[in-house]
Amino acid sequence: DAPQELFYRFQLIPVHGVPIMKPIADNWERIEAFQARPDDLLVATYPKAGTTWMQEIVDSIINDGDLKKVKCAPMHVRFPFLEICNPPPVPCGVDILEGTTSPRKIKTHLPYELIPRSFWEHDCKVIYVARNAKDSAVSYYHFDLMEKTQPHPGTWEEYVGKFLKGNVPWGGWFDHVIGWWKARAKHQILYMFYEDMKEDPKREIHKVMRFLGKDLTEDLLEKICQHTSFKAMKENPMANYSTTPASVLDQSISKFMRKGEVSDWKNHFTVQQNEMLDAEYQKRMEGTDLKFRFSI
Ligand code: A3P
């Protein structure tokens, strides 16, 4: 294990204009040159959109509901994080992936514009998960309090300002969700919504199954629904990041599986903050047919 201080709250450095944590920015050439394989599957999200939930769903489907296989290792081992980089000796995502046998399952938070070209040259499948801006901000704020490599979020009031400016790791929410939405025209992208998954998990898991070219029985789908419920994942050490040291993820501050609800933003946004976000939302979402639900 590397000494704790190596992990403490990295600076953000612009990579093609997107604020990215320093160790990732320092390794950018290698990440950009990453060699995808045609059967790679990418799960892409803006942070806190339900990445881990989708990863667990995908892994359960790929393993035909065989939960022994799905519970064989923590999420970051089963489903490596493409761009993540920490100071040596911790291996970077690209190093881990180069040594991973196919078919590979890969997580990324990169905006569409920063995805290594090789994924598109091989026409890889991508599942994108989007979550409404207000719940994303609340979830990201709590995460940045407990994730010790990310910049400290400051107060909630300060954080709302940073979030709206896109001055957070992986940049702005608006650019991210819109960039990937437009990319659907050119690539094999299944664009999913957290709110839909909460509303009807089985319907949404079925969509993912079809996209992956699988045909599981009703019983197996039901089993996967149970296994990927918030309650089950919160208790599952292979999904809840409890194996990550507290020097990186301090779950005494806030749990990784924090609340798992739609509309928790109502418990955090003041009337003024809400108006500010609504105004920005109207401005930035004009001219796109991408629509979000802030409650279900
Ligand atoms: P909250 O902070 O709102 O609780 P990511 O995996 O992209 O980092 O997203 C984490 C968010 O997804 C957290 O949101 C977490 O609780 C929520 N989440 C994780 N698993 C979930 C599940 N099975 N059902 C609903 N929400 C889930």
pTM above 0.90, yes or no: yes
CB-ligand 1 contact for 53 (6 Å cutoff): yes
228 lines ligand 1 (CB under 6 A): yes
pLDDT of 7 = 64
Q: Give the pLDDT band of residue 76 (cuts 50, 70, 90).
A: very high
| Ligand 1 centroid, distance to 29 Cα (angstroms) | 31
Asked about 187 being catalytic, the answer comes back as: no
ipTM score assigned to the predicted complex: 1.00
Mean pLDDT across the stretch 271-290?
98
Give the 3-state secondary structure of the chain.
CCCHHHHCCCCEEEECCEEEEHHHHHCHHHHHCCCCCCCCEEEEECCCCCHHHHHHHHHHHHCCCCHHHHCCCCHHHHCCECCCCCCCCCCCHHHHHHCCCCCCEEEECCCHHHCCCHHHHCCCEEEEEECCHHHHHHHHHHHHHHECCCCCCCCHHHHHHHHHHCCCCCCCHHHHHHHHHHHCCCCCEEEEEHHHHHHCHHHHHHHHHHHCCCCCCHHHHHHHHHHCCHHHHHHCCCCCCCCCCCCCECCCCCCCCCCCCCCHHHHCCCHHHHHHHHHHHHHHHCCCCCCCCCCC
Q: Is the CB of 104 under 6 A from ligand 1?
A: no
Which one is catalytic: 16, 76, 109, 227? 109
CB of 251 shorter than 6 A to ligand 1: no
Q: Which domains does the chain have, with CATH numbers?
A: 4-285 (3.40.50.300)
131 or 87: whose pLDDT is higher? 131
Q: Return the higher-pLDDT residue of 4 and 71.
A: 71
Instruction: Mark 163-187 as b/e (b = at least 16 C-beta within 10 Å).
Output: bbebebbbbbbbbbbbbbbebeeeb
Mean pLDDT of the chain: 96
pLDDT digits over 132-142, tens only? 999 999 999 99
What proportion of the chain, given as a percentage, has pLDDT over 70? 98
Over the stretch 239-262, which tens digit does the pLDDT of each residue have?
Answer: 999 999 998 999 999 999 999 999
User: Lowest-pLDDT range, 2-11, 219-228, 267-276, 277-286?
Assistant: 2-11
Virtual CA dihedral for 101, 102, 105, 106, nearest 10 degrees? Answer: 70
Ligand 1 center–CA 257 separation, angstroms: 6
